[in-house]
Amino acid sequence: MNRTLNVVLHAHSLWSYDGHWTLAEIADFFGARGVDVVMMSEHDTGFEPASFDDYRAECASASTGKCTLVPGIEYSSPDNDIHILTWGLDHFLSEHQPVLETLQKVKSAGGVAIFAHPVRRQAYLKFEEAFVPYLDGIEVWNRKSDGVAPGKEAKSLIAKSGLSATVGVDFHHIRHYWPLTHRTNVSGDDLEQELVRAIRERRLQPMLMGRSILNAQDEISTPLSEVLEKLRRGLKRLRPGSGSKNNKKAGKR
């Protein structure tokens, strides 16, 4: 039976060292907001490989009739500058591997991989052409790193690489919430594998507040959110004390 699903990518629970919510709390929160699936992405840092089966089992038990949690891992590079979101693996690889090695292992195991938040630590500057055959997309908009509008650096990477665009809430706690989702259709009973296939086949439609962020030419078009992000950053600079460092420097001259 064909089903249309509302899917969130990139979320962290207490299984991540910096997570704040349990898996059950995440399922309840997103389920109450019309999200059918949350693709979890726990950090590899400090993750116990022997606990991977327990993590998968808890994702299943915490899922509800409204919201299913799909287990995934966010792997980081040795210097922690590049992060890769992965799903579809039945085992944990290892933490802080070289990026290309991680991508090759994910591909050979039948999983999918997304290049996360390119703007964080200027990861876009370390993007290599050798990554492209092993990637299934680039996170064009990360709520935590980009704010309320997608980053131009990620847009440029997508244009150059030809990879598909995804959006990520990068949820750790409530202030990271933003209505960034994906819409896709599935037909099989194995939801995890159906969604892995949808990512691989570029069948995830990135959405903001229920509307596609892609125009008729499949280009990323979010003029309103970009205006809002410029306004947000402008107001942040106007906050009392925001320019104190600059003022101190000016006083020394």
Give the integer Cα–Cα distance in Å for 89 and 59.
14
Report the chain's terminal Cα–Cα distance, integer Å: 71
Q: What is the pLDDT of residue 28?
A: 98
Residue 38 CB partners (closer than 8 Å, separation 6+): 7, 8, 11, 26, 27, 30, 67, 68, 69, 70
When pLDDT is cut at 50, 70 and 90, the band that residue 248 belongs to is very low
Sign of CA dihedral 109, 171, 153, 198: positive
Q: What is the pLDDT of residue 214?
A: 79
The secondary structure of residue 15, as a DSSP letter, is: T
Mean of the per-residue pLDDT values of the chain = 90
Tokens 């809430």 identify what position?
A: 169
3-state secondary structure 161-226: HCCCEEEEEEECCHHHCCCEEEEEEECCCCHHHHHHHHHHCCCCEEEECCEECECCCCCECCHHHH
Q: What is the pLDDT of residue 152?
A: 86
Domain ranges of the chain: 3-220, 222-253
CA atoms within 13 A on the CB side of 175: 4
Domain 3-220: CATH superfamily, name plus number: Metal-dependent hydrolases (3.20.20.140)
Q: Please report, rounded to a whole number, the percentage of residues in the chain having pLDDT higher than 90.
A: 76
89-102 pLDDT per residue, tens: 999 999 999 999 99
Q: Three-state DSSP class for 56?
A: helix
pTM (global) more than 0.85: yes
Least confident of 24-28, 116-120, 234-238: 234-238
Give the integer Cα–Cα distance in Å for 137 and 170.
16
Give the integer Cα–Cα distance in Å for 137 and 176.
22
118-172 pLDDT per residue, tens: 999 999 999 999 999 999 999 999 999 998 888 889 999 999 999 999 999 999 9
